[in-house]
Amino acid sequence: MADGLAEARNDGQVQDMHGVNALRYDWTRAEALALYDLPFADLMFRAQSVHRAHFNPNHVETASLLSIKTGGCPEDCGYCSQSAHYDTGVKATKLMAQADVVATARRARDAGATRFCMAAAWRNPKERDLDEVCRMVSAVKDLSMETCATLGMLTAPQAARLREAGLDFYNHNVDTSPEFYDQIITTRTLQDRIDTLAHVREAGIKVCCGGIIGMGEEVDDRLGMLVLLSNLPEHPESVPINLWNEVKGVPVNDTAERPDPIVLARLVAVARIMMPNSVVRLSAGRQYMTDELQALCFLAGANSIFIGDVLLTTKNPQTTRDADLLGRLGMTSALNRTPA
């Protein structure tokens, strides 16, 4: 096979016995690398073809993210500004009041966000805190927004409670490849994360799961992360791809290196091909991306962004800049529904 992939297995799909396209859950590292190494024009063409078969190629989903409980996390994630293990200058706060969360969600909706994600720096939520988060979820749902939460590890009963409250999505990233994982985290295993994803699925909540690039990992680790995600029992409905954000005082600073822009575009394209039905989100780190790089990533199959000036504790492009970029690209979103 010239490019390492049989023609019948192109574009992230295989033909089933009735000739109907079926999603794949048996990707190998060799196949992912063969895609990644394609001539750039061929890779982009293949990714765009898959994208057009499953999505409107000229539409970008807009979401908003709020830290409802910041800092003091007992986990030792080596990239995180909110870990209690490192002196990053981020102060621990209490859980926000429901009224303040709902007011922020309303402003996000009015600014053009269609999904609102609530993030808490916990290893796992305590029952009394989960009670309050469930009330927040229900209140945000009443604003006619999609709801998302990221609260750390969940038990099966906790996931079920969040679903009953109206939670649509749960974010729980695998962060990196199985081989690189223990170099950045020691307090929570990769299997812990997989178990939480299973609880979320069993509860009927959609999965948002991706990772971070630029922490010192190799290309093989980035592709290994995509293979892990694409070979889950079901592909995540949302796949956030985060660029490492510079944070003072964390161990990843010693190994971090921001990827070349073409590398990022290639990775987005491979994610699109391997997980055709998943929304691929350009998440943290967009403040480092030029307009041209973001446009290239949209062409490669990215179709979601976070809007708002701040993501948790890091910067994000201003909403006016996002609206202007999407308008110049002729792309629709809740920010800019008609092409400029």
Task: Tell me how far apart the alpha carbons of residues 80 and 70 are, in angstroms, rounded to a whole number.
Answer: 11
How far apart are alpha carbons 175 and 238 in whole angstroms? 14
CB neighbours of 160 closer than 8 A, spacing ≥ 6? 203
Determine which one of 24, 46, 77, 297 is catalytic: 77
Q: Catalytic annotation on 117?
A: yes
| Phi/psi of residue 176, nearest 5 degrees | -160, -165
List, in order, residues 6 or more apart from 289 with CB less than 8 Å away: 243, 261, 264, 282, 297
Q: Active-site residue among 46, 73, 163, 286?
A: 73
User: Is there a catalytic annotation at residue 297?
Assistant: no
Catalytic residue among 117, 134, 209, 297: 117
Of the listed 109, 193, 272, 281, which one is catalytic?
281
| Residue 134 is among the residues annotated as catalytic for this protein | no
* Nearest in space to 117 (alpha carbons), one of 161, 165, 149, 151: 149
Pair of tokens at residue 61: 């989903």
- The answer to whether 209 is a known catalytic residue is no
| Catalytic site residue from 109, 193, 208, 297 | 208
Q: What H or E segment, with its residue span, contains residue 260?
A: none
Q: What is the DSSP string of 100-124?
A: HHHHHHHHHHHHT-SEEEEEE--SS
CB distance 296 to 73 below 8 Å? no
Q: Which of 159, 166, 245, 143 is nearest to 198 (CA)?
A: 159
| Torsion 96-66-126-184 (CA) sign | negative
Q: Which of 148, 161, 188, 272 is catalytic?
A: 148
Active site residue 77: yes
208 is catalytic: yes
CA atoms within 13 A on the CB side of 62: 25
Point out the residues that are catalytic: 73, 77, 80, 117, 148, 208, 281
